[in-house]
Amino acid sequence: MKKRLAVLFLLFFQFSQTYAQQSQKGLLWEISGNGLSQPSYIFGTIHLICPDNFFVPKSTAVKFKIAQQVFLEIDMDDQQMMMKTQKLMMSADGKKLKDIMNESDYQIFSKYFKKISGMDVAMFGSAKPMVYLSFALMKSAGCPMPKSYEEYFVKEAKAEKKEVFGLETIEDQVAVMDRATTEQQVGWLMDAVKETENGNAIYNQMIDLYKKQDIEALTKMISGQMVGMKGMQDELLDKRNQNWIPVIEQNISQKSTFFAVGAGHLGGEKGVLKLLQQKGYSLKSLL
């Protein structure tokens, strides 16, 4: 049970970041110029996608093979990742969901959670609200076990004997969510209940636009619909984008590197693409 929870916890955190503003078209971008001896590449992922919708553009597979090393948001190849995640998904103060929700909301959410997961909330003990929300996001994907681009790239890296690194640690990621107030986190759970009727439809539209690599249209559709992430865009996206730039610069100056991060981090005035352009790099979409 704990291993399954840990997997869902990781997928939840990364899946939520796809619901963000974008301003560019194209999933794969080439980074060149500014004194680089060889180009590097950055690919925008969607962290949960059903197997029948999973695809890897030909250009992405080609550039992945060219790159000498791989960076994900976190090092998914870390042998200690699952153990670390299992620890981080539990509340430090031991409080259970019933301890942080009023009775009415707790009963409503418990009934909803039982319906989508087949399990009682009480089974999860002192798990953080994010763990419960992960089930709601998994449900919206419309299949029992969605695929992950991160897992795909880790597998490919191993096959080609490429090293996998992380732009940040799992501790960094969870710390971002822990900065949300208890009220915010409870609010996300209740939002999940309220949006259960149209959640699948919204997700399906998003997947369709993702497959078309139409980031501009995707942005317009999901503007203001960051499910479970209200009030967290600065923490989840903007600040982390800034933190990643020095890591990206250091590595692309040494080796051709393939980066794969949530698509929500690429576009916008504070996105990774714009920040790299401001540093003097050339960014080209490889559709």
Q: Where are the domains of the chain?
A: 2-285
Mean pLDDT taken over the chain: 84
Residue 78: the pLDDT is 78
pLDDT above 70 covers what percent of the chain?
84
What are the φ/ψ torsions at residue 249 (nearest 5 degrees)?
-60, -45
54 pLDDT more than 80: yes
Contacts of 76 (CB under 8 A, 6+ apart): 150, 151, 154, 164, 166
Contacts of 175 (CB under 8 A, 6+ apart): none
* Residue 103, SS3 per DSSP: helix
> Please, which residues bridge with residue 29 across strands?
42, 285
Q: How far, in Å, CA of 226 to CA of 234, rounded?
A: 13
Residue 218: the pLDDT is 62
Residue 235: the pLDDT is 81
* pLDDT tens digit sequence for 12-33: 555 444 443 434 689 999 999 9
Six-digit token pair at 111?
Answer: 């009934």
Residue 220: the pLDDT is 55
* pLDDT tens digit sequence for 191-201: 888 876 566 77
Q: How far, in Å, CA of 172 to CA of 189, rounded?
A: 22
The highest-confidence range among 12-26, 132-146, 221-235, by mean pLDDT, is 132-146
Question: What pTM did the predictor assign?
Answer: 0.87
Residue 21: the pLDDT is 40
